[in-house]
A = this chain, B = another copy of it.
């Protein structure tokens, strides 16, 4: 087998390290870039460097930001008594894209996962508790636990609920709804999802 130019092999290897991109996709991307104008590829390189330099973590909610505080935490129209707790900054993006949420966020930076050696101390749970301590007693205070409906996400939500209850067990804590996704078919739903959908039934 002939050796391909090092510049191509190295770039393929770099793309392969990205999640969801295997050797074939990586090669396809690189050969696609070979036929794109140099300006586009150089612009992409510039954006990569700029992005790592410019993006900070918000001091308040630990989401992505250009300043010390992110645009959401800076926005005075946001309801500071409604905190949505999520695993990652990308989840903030997903919820913001719906467009209706008026509260603020708290990014944990992951979930409790003993197998991957992630303990509560590795997450921003202490910081969440401190934030809640400052606003406890406020009217209409609500903490929405929006970690993923996975085993780790559920366990993390339960752990946080217990910790919040230790401060004040009258604080309203909710968990995002889980059940059948819109457009789904009962027939093909897995047992866990269907069971959750039955438990989560609502009056109409």
The chain A residues found within 8 Å of chain B, CB to CB, are 1-8, 10-11, 14, 17-20, 25, 27-34, 38, 40-55, 64-66, 70-72, 75, 88-90, 93, 96-97, 99
Contacts and interface: CB of A to CB of B under 8 A. Distances in A.
Nearest to A21: B29
A8 to B, nearest CB: 6
Contacts of A14: 40, 43-44, 47
Contact of A27 (B34, B72, B90): B90
A51 B8 contact: yes
A8 B64 contact: yes
One complex includes copies of this chain to the number of 2
A54 B20 contact: no
Contact of A41 (B7, B31, B52): B52
Contact of A64 (B5, B20, B45, B71): B5
A63 to B, nearest CB: 9
11 contacts: A7-B55, A10-B50, A11-B44, A11-B48, A17-B40, A18-B32, A18-B33, A20-B25, A34-B55, A41-B48, A41-B49
A44 B48 contact: yes
A14 to B, nearest CB: 5
A1 B97 contact: yes
Contacts of A4: 64, 93, 96
A45 to B, nearest CB: 4
B51 A7 contact: yes
Contacts of A28: 19-20, 90
Nearest to A57: B34
Given A5-B66, A28-B19, A33 B51 contact: yes
A80 to B, nearest CB: 15
Contacts of A11: 44, 47-48, 51
